[in-house]
């Protein structure tokens, strides 16, 4: 069963949103509030949010609903029972319940730059997938962040010291936190192919429906959220467009989840079959509730 909750602004803006932002969420409300603070500080305001909740505790859900009652962005909160990791299944519900024809995917632990939504919308294309990146924040900085700082754009304004410290994190990715206004410089820096990361990509809703959404057989973080989707979309002929330095986001530090080996085994099977449309996706979920 899916529980659907929406705040008052969502009922006032049902059709006109230029994009639906799908946020994958589970229990960490402190992180989600910081992510939502980032979306409350966007240059583009005509969008909706769909929180895809993979079974957070009842007390967390209750507090979140109270928070959303005073949140000014149209938001839907989708929740299903906690039966271990079912993120892909919940993301499929997010696709189904989204109102816009354009979808932006992000995780609960990623704070968007003020130009994040504007850039995704401005460069959207019917045959392209925009593949952004994230900058990893240090544990020290993550502990000192507040929603007030994020609402004031503090991260984007203090890159002179955030980028050097972030360069010591995984993949030396401090520079990925730099937002560049120059399209020519962006294009030059994005010559390298970059595929999908599940926490920062956008796509036309019609195209992700063509592949039947996310494959629900994946039982943990890893291939199923990005590599599988990228591979199956590429079979449709869609272009993966590197979007670093444009759709910038800041990744709040936390201990990484284990990535099950079964995911990679399943992905190898998917590549061997070379079918764009999964038989374990959104349409199967919809048929379950129609029985």
Q: What pLDDT does residue 170 have?
A: 64
**Among 33-37, 78-82, 156-160, 272-276, where is mean pLDDT lowest?**
156-160
pLDDT higher than 80, residue 174 = no
pLDDT band at 176 (very low <50, low <70, confident <90, very high): confident
Whole-number pLDDT of residue 246: 95
Q: Residue range 233-261: average pLDDT?
A: 88
Mean pLDDT calculated for residue range 211-224: 90
H helix and E strand count, the chain: 14, 11
Which pLDDT score, from 0 to 100, does residue 160 have? 77
**Which pLDDT tens digit goes with each residue over 140-172?**
889 999 999 999 999 988 887 777 766 666 666
**pLDDT mean across residues, the chain:** 91
pLDDT for the residue numbered 161: 75
Where residue 125 falls among pLDDT bands split at 50, 70, 90? confident
SS3 of 278, please? coil
Q: What would the mean pLDDT of 1-8 be, rounded to a whole number?
A: 88
Q: Which two tokens stand for residue 163?
A: 């980028």
DSSP 196-247: --TTEEEEEHHHHHHTTSS-TT--SSSGGGTHHHHHHHHTTT-EEEE-TTTS
> What pLDDT was estimated at residue 15?
57
The answer to whether 79 touches 50, Cβ cutoff 8 Å, is no
* Interatomic CA distance for residues 93 and 149, integer angstroms: 32
**pLDDT at residue 290 greater than cutoff 70:** no
Choose from 49-58, 139-148, 214-223 the range with maximum mean pLDDT.
49-58
Domains of the chain: 3-290 (3.90.550.10)
Q: Which residues contact 233 (CB under 8 A, 6 or more apart)?
A: 129, 196, 203, 207, 208, 211, 240, 276
Residue 152's pLDDT is 92
pLDDT number for residue 291:
45
Q: Name the more confident of 260 and 54.
A: 54
pLDDT band at 12 (very low <50, low <70, confident <90, very high): low
């Amino acid at each position: 069963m899916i529980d659907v909750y929406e705040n008052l602004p969502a009922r006032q803006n049902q059709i006109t949103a230029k994009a639906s932002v799908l946020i994958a969420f589970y229990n960490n409300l402190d992180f989600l509030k910081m992510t939502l603070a980032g979306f409350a500080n966007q240059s583009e305001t005509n969008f909706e949010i769909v929180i895809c909740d993979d079974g957070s505790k009842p007390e967390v859900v209750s507090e979140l609903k109270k928070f959303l009652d005073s949140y000014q962005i149209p938001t839907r909160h989708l929740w299903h029972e906690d039966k271990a990791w079912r993120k892909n299944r919940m993301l499929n519900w997010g696709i189904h319940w989204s109102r816009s024809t354009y979808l932006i995917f992000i995780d609960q632990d990623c704070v968007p730059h003020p130009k994040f939504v504007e850039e995704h919308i401005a460069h959207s294309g019917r045959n392209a997938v925009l593949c952004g990146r994230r900058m990893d924040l240090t544990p020290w900085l993550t502990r000192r962040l507040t929603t007030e700082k994020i609402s004031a754009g503090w991260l984007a304004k203090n890159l002179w010291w955030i980028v050097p410290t972030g360069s010591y994190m995984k993949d030396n990715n401090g520079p990925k936190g730099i937002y560049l206004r120059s399209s020519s410089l962006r294009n030059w820096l994005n010559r390298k192919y970059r595929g999908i990361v599940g926490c920062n990509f956008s796509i036309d809703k019609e195209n992700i429906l063509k592949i039947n959404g996310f494959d629900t057989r994946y039982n943990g973080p890893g291939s199923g959220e990005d590599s599988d989707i990228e591979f199956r979309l590429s079979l449709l002929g869609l272009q993966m467009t590197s979007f670093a330095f444009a759709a910038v986001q800041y990744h709040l530090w936390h201990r990484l989840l284990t990535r099950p080996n079964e995911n990679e085994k399943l992905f190898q099977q998917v590549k061997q079959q070379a079918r764009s449309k999964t038989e374990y996706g959104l349409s199967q979920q919809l048929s379950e509730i129609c029985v």
